[in-house]
Amino acid sequence: MASKGRAYRTLVVDGYEVLVGRGDAENDRLTFDVAAPDDVWLHVAGVPGSHVVVRNPERLDVLPAAVLGAAAQLAAWHSKARDRRGKVEVHVCRVRDVGKARGAPAGEVRLGRWDVLRVYPREPASLRDDDDTDDAAGRRDAR
């Protein structure tokens, strides 16, 4: 389900609203103006791409693995890693752990804490229920 006239695309995965940024300025708007602090933020590690936000209105501590996996696949698909062979790393954190350095260009952020999922980039129409995600070595802190 696409959104016209917005700075982001909207999809629904297992009842969770997933928002996908459309460009650098739109990524900033999505991350810092639209998303709530308890929403979950995703982006491919070290590669330009869309910011992806999974809405978490009930402020759950942990979202379902299938929802996070699908959102991570979307982040990978909407990035420069789309054509890579094999799995790519996707950073996952709460929106409250995403910040911006003063003077940083649009779309560039800093993460305070994050987890990593490894997924295959998948086109949204081809997302399936199978488990193609790997948890990496756990939570990371930027220091």
Read off the pLDDT of each residue in 87-102 and give the average, rounded to a whole number.
97
Average pLDDT over residues 17-39: 96
Contact present, 35 and 41 (Cβ < 8 Å): yes
* pLDDT computed for residue 123 by the predictor: 75
- pLDDT range class, residue 122, cuts 50, 70, 90: confident
Mean pLDDT for all residues in the chain: 87
Q: What is the pLDDT of residue 56?
A: 98
Taking the model in full, what pTM does it have?
0.84
Give the closest residue to 87 by CA, choosing from 29, 141, 131, 54: 131
Bin 86: left if φ > 0, else alpha if -120 < ψ < 50, else beta.
left
Residue 132 has pLDDT above 80, yes or no: no
